[in-house]
Amino acid sequence: MYDFSRCKLCATNGARPKYTLKKATVYACPACGFHYIDHLDDMPSGPQGSSAQALDQKARSYIESRLPGNEKQLRKNLQLVKRHLSLAGASCLDIGAGAGMFPHLLAEEGASVHGIEPQGVFREFTQQKFGIELQGETIDAVHWQEGFKGFFDLVTLWDVLEHVNFPAETLRDAYSVIKPGGWLVLDTPRRDALFYRISELSYRLSGGRNSLFLESLYSPMPFRHKQIFTLRQLVQLVESIGFSVIQLHNKPLQPQNKMVLVCQKQPGNGA
Ligand SMILES: [Zn+2]
């Protein structure tokens, strides 16, 4: 059992509950200001990942119904990636591949594609829809860390960092499988966005009775949002790991309040 008074980002002890939501408590770190909830997913170990849910007709229809919106956003992300590297023949890893749309788009560009998706229902969908085999083992697994060290030209994390148990570790593990001069491109919601700040204000003014969007920004359900970075926290984190931030997009007024980071592992930096 993880002790949530220990900051998930900087490991300082003394993090305190800041917002008590209906289903989760948001902790805040006094040292680095990180916000995260008091919940971790039981992570499946081994190549099977989580296969609790079956890909029945209902699940398939639901995933299909969300695919067009998914594709629209991911095609934009693809254009962003293509500004920085040529995908034909590139070795790419999409972490948190979901229904497989981004691996599919990468494959269309002629890339050599790998993908990680811990939920079996999405892996099965991806296999059937796109003929792409995703792996259930997460990026910390020996399969990746020993088998693909310094291997990839590109690693992508679309809407993943807010979902994983330990985002700093996920980024370090991603760093180690990227080759020198290779790329990490990601997007994630940002906490220093208007929605979040208004919600915090509302929480304070109502004595905790009305937390507006905080309830929907965090969830203790499996694979849902566990932490939300500020832009500064995320930039500092990737730089401390060894990446250079090459391009940065703020979308503070978009519904998801996302930030997009294009990072490069320093050329000639062996490990
Ligand atoms: Zn901290």
CA of 7 to the centre of ligand 1 (A): 5
Q: Which two tokens stand for residue 162?
A: 């807010």
Q: Which two tokens stand for residue 8?
A: 């998930």
CA of 208 to the centre of ligand 1 (A): 23
CA of 165 to the centre of ligand 1 (A): 15
Report, as an integer, the average pLDDT of 45-51: 57
CA of 92 to the centre of ligand 1 (A): 31
Check whether 81 has a pLDDT greater than 70.
Answer: yes
Residue 216 pLDDT class (50, 70, 90 cuts) = confident
pLDDT > 90 fraction of the chain, expressed in percent and rounded: 77
Check whether 270 has a pLDDT greater than 50.
Answer: no
The pLDDT tens digits of the residues spanning 85-123 come to 999 999 999 999 999 999 999 999 999 999 999 999 999
Q: Supply the pLDDT for residue 252.
A: 52
What residues does the ion ligand 1 have nearby, CB within 5 Å?
Answer: 7, 9-10, 12, 29, 31-32, 34
CA of 12 to the centre of ligand 1 (A): 5
CA of 232 to the centre of ligand 1 (A): 13
- Distance between CA atoms of residues 78 and 209, nearest Å: 41
CA of 9 to the centre of ligand 1 (A): 5
The pLDDT tens digits of the residues spanning 11-23 come to 999 999 999 999 9
| Poorest-pLDDT segment among 24-33, 70-79, 253-262 | 253-262
Q: Which residues contact residue 228 at a Cβ distance below 8 angstroms, ignoring those fewer than 6 apart?
A: 35, 162, 188, 189, 190, 191, 196, 217, 218
- Distance between CA atoms of residues 242 and 230, nearest Å: 19
Q: Supply the pLDDT for residue 256.
A: 59
Q: Work out the mean pLDDT of the chain and round it to a whole number.
A: 92
CA of 95 to the centre of ligand 1 (A): 25
Q: Supply the pLDDT for residue 219.
A: 87
The topology under which CATH files domain 45-190+229-265 is: Rossmann fold (3.40.50)
Exposure of 216 in the CB half-sphere (CA atoms within 13 A): 7
Q: What is the domain partition of the chain in residue ranges?
A: 45-190+229-265
Q: Supply the pLDDT for residue 88.
A: 98
CA of 128 to the centre of ligand 1 (A): 42
For residues 126 and 149, the answer to whether their CB atoms sit within 8 Å is no
Check whether 45 has a pLDDT greater than 80.
Answer: no
CA of 104 to the centre of ligand 1 (A): 37
Report, as an integer, the average pLDDT of 238-243: 97
pLDDT > 70 fraction of the chain, expressed in percent and rounded: 93
CA of 32 to the centre of ligand 1 (A): 4
For residues 64 and 35, the answer to whether their CB atoms sit within 8 Å is no
For residues 184 and 263, the answer to whether their CB atoms sit within 8 Å is yes
- Name the pTM for this structure: 0.92
Check whether 51 has a pLDDT greater than 80.
Answer: no
Check whether 152 has a pLDDT greater than 50.
Answer: yes
Q: Supply the pLDDT for residue 253.
A: 53
φ, ψ for residue 47, nearest 5 deg: -65, -20
Check whether 48 has a pLDDT greater than 60.
Answer: no
CA of 1 to the centre of ligand 1 (A): 19
CA of 167 to the centre of ligand 1 (A): 13
CA of 136 to the centre of ligand 1 (A): 30
